Amino acid sequence: MRDYLKINPEVNEALARKQPVVALESTIISHGMPYPENVKTALACEAKVREAGAIPATIAIIDGKIIVGLTVAEIELIGQAGETVVKTSRRDLPYVISNKLNGALTVSGTMIVSALAGIKFFATGGIGGVHRGAEITMDISADLEELAHTNVCVVCAGIKSILDLPKTLEYLETKGVPVLGYQTDSLPAFYLSTSPYKVNYQLKTPQAIAQLAKTKWDLGLQGGIVVTNPIPKALSADPELIDQAIDQALKAMQAAKIQGKESTPFLLKRVAEITGGQSLQANIALVLNNCRLAAEIAKAYWNMED
């Protein structure tokens, strides 16, 4: 494994001492936002994790090497390269590594590497899921399968609202993945703080979430946990505007015959364009909010392990 994995010394020391570490993904840098907002947001995410008392570990592949804990220069490299960096999930890892390419890790890719490194908590924007029209296209994110068997707690703002929320919830239920709501029983919908759908359980403190995670894994129940953390209502996007933007973006995607792993970046970019940047500002706000909560949960978890 040493041939493939390079852990930042600060992250490595924190893991050895059982101090809280929060993993951060890199597709939000390469494919989720334009430059330079992507780099500014990535650095702000790391700062937010530190403010809350944990060590950040942004994860990507640089020249075929998995880096757990990017430097500022490496974040800048991924940010400037943008969509030329390979979007990397479980399927893509051996290809990107063996060909010594640069790769930005998705939720599923970040979960895999987090587990390899011993990181149990991960903050992101929103998880992937069942795409709208999946009964025809069979387009279902690899994030869901990873959540079914990889022991990482993913803190997010819910399922990306460009997706089919009820079908995604059904898929997670089938796989035995608990979907928790932090101080809410309504499933957040990424840009929006609420939706018509319900989470499995509402938990009101980071300590309660950490206790559930510890109990699940102590029982030997394999798989991840989804913690949904609503974007603050004052920063939530306008629901009607978002719905209209998503409908337009879906039509544009179908016309362009875009499928597979390119679907989500295309839709997010089009929604941001249609909303005049409102969705981008909501995206930045929600991911920072998730970083704070993930750090608080990680601290609570390791306090129980002491």
Q: Which of 160, 216, 261, 299 is catalytic?
A: 160
Helices (H), 153-238: 165-174, 206-218
Dist CA 161 CA 158 (whole Å): 8
Task: Note whether 288 and 22 are within 8 A (CB).
Answer: no
Is 16 exposed, middle or buried, given 0-12, 13-18 or 19+ CB atoms closer than 10 A?
exposed
Q: List the beta bridge partners of residue 59.
A: 68
For residue 86, how many C-alpha atoms fall within 13 Å in the half-sphere facing its CB?
20
| Calpha distance 141→226 (Å, rounded) | 15
Task: Exactly one of 25, 46, 74, 296 is catalytic; name it.
Answer: 25
Is position 25 annotated as part of the catalytic site?
yes
The answer to whether 10 is a known catalytic residue is no
22 is written with which tokens?
């929060």
**How many whole angstroms separate alpha carbon 232 and alpha carbon 219?**
34
Question: What CA dihedral angle connects 182, 183, 189 and 193, to 10 degrees?
Answer: -140
Instruction: Name the burial class of residue 197, with classes exposed (0-12), middle (13-18) and buried (19+) by CB atoms within 10 angstroms of its CB.
Output: middle
Catalytic residues: 25, 160
